[in-house]
Structure 1
């Protein structure tokens, strides 16, 4: 296979990786009394995702499968199942990963999304779609952290993510993502199909760049409710126009 063909194959493989990373970033993080994770094992949160025109483009169900105390702190395990616009499971043709397991750690005064979640995701995507030993992806990412006890005006750490392609013993940067200007901006009452919630708002700016100078800048605002996690989110382009949105449509408790 030529170098150009390898690069083309790799770029096609990159699309579901970025989509899966986006799903991971959308997983809410919290513990009882904190607005960043459902506080009860078995809680199932169903979301609807819409495009800029308001059309439903996908759904997801995020279920808390375990809450455990470990030597590193409290570990919350969430299964994130992606569905199509009609609520049907995704197929291999539409997504490399329809079910993602995410483990979130509560340590001290911090809620931490560890790098190990990305490691597991990338390994599964490589196995399912690459099928070529001459091409490999590497991902480097900072841990994403939130405060266990948020305050209005609080600034959050900038997050850096980079993706590289390795082919024929040469490594090329593909995409660099910076999530910056992360802050807790206020409290608002928000009504969505699942109910009315008193929420904290978190604002972030995501800058994505490629080596050839192409890139995008988007702004996001997310509303979080105590004991629930994410209730609503919006992504805006650099002109302030809505690009996509997500909202909580139902809450259930799965008894096992």
Structure 2
């Protein structure tokens, strides 16, 4: 959580082909009492280098751990598009929390975001629930950015948009002083859908 720190994550599909790159920069760091809050700005470009999305969200470090703004689950650019259409939006949820003192077998709190949109005759709801989060083990992970000592966290996710439902499970490797190093997403059938790895890191 140092201003100016940069991270780059590369997204691969199930066939190990690059689908896009997300570049992050910590644009601001604010201190208030025992809390430190960092603003994470990011840009996602596709495999051809075309800018697809820009957004930002906040991460807060408390004396007990890290809290990630639940609104990070709903892209700012998408929110702006809906608002430009005259749609009123109400976003509520529970922040994603990662305690400082992780240990194998530890259960972590659930997180969710609920979006209600209203444009008169048109109403829509989006719900994303992240649950069954737990720390599996400690292990070393090597990516293009280096080798990191990590905790492996597993979790399940359920997204509901109107009548459409999507269920996935994730494996997330996080490292102290860095954050997420690697993530794998699996479908309901247990097959790998995509993975994302830290490919550049500078602070």
- What's the TM-score, normalizing by structure 1? 0.70
Corresponding pairs, count: 203
Partner residue, 1:207: 158
Is the counterpart of residue 181 in structure 1 residue 132 in structure 2? yes
Partner residue, 2:173: 223
Partner residue, 1:75: 37
In the alignment, the residues of structure 2 paired with residue 76 and residue 183 of structure 1 have an alpha-carbon distance, to the nearest angstrom, of: 25
- Identify, as 1 or 2, the structure richer in helix: 1
Contact 2:83-2:89 within 8 A present in 1 as well: no
In the alignment, the residues of structure 2 paired with residue 116 and residue 250 of structure 1 have an alpha-carbon distance, to the nearest angstrom, of: 25
Q: Which has the larger radius of gyration?
A: 1
Structure 2 unpaired stretches of 5+: none
- Identify, as 1 or 2, the structure richer in strand: 2
Partner residue, 2:191: 241
Assess, with a 3 A threshold, how the Cα gap between structure 1 residues 224 and 80 changes in structure 2: closer, same or farther: same
RMSD between aligned residues: 2.5
The match for 1:114 among 47, 59, 69 is 69
What are the within-5 Å matches in structure 2 for residues 1-256 of structure 1?
39-71=1-33, 73-86=35-48, 88=49, 90=51, 95=52, 97-98=53-54, 100-115=55-70, 122=76, 125-128=78-81, 131-133=84-86, 135-168=87-120, 172-212=123-163, 214-253=164-203
With 76-85 and 139-148 compared, the bigger mean Cα shift is at 76-85
Residue 234 of structure 1 deviates from its aligned partner by: 0.3
Structure 1 unpaired stretches of 5+: 1-38
Greater relative contact order (CA < 8 Å, ≥ 6 in sequence): 1
- What's the TM-score, normalizing by structure 2? 0.86
Residue 171 of structure 1 deviates from its aligned partner by: 7.1
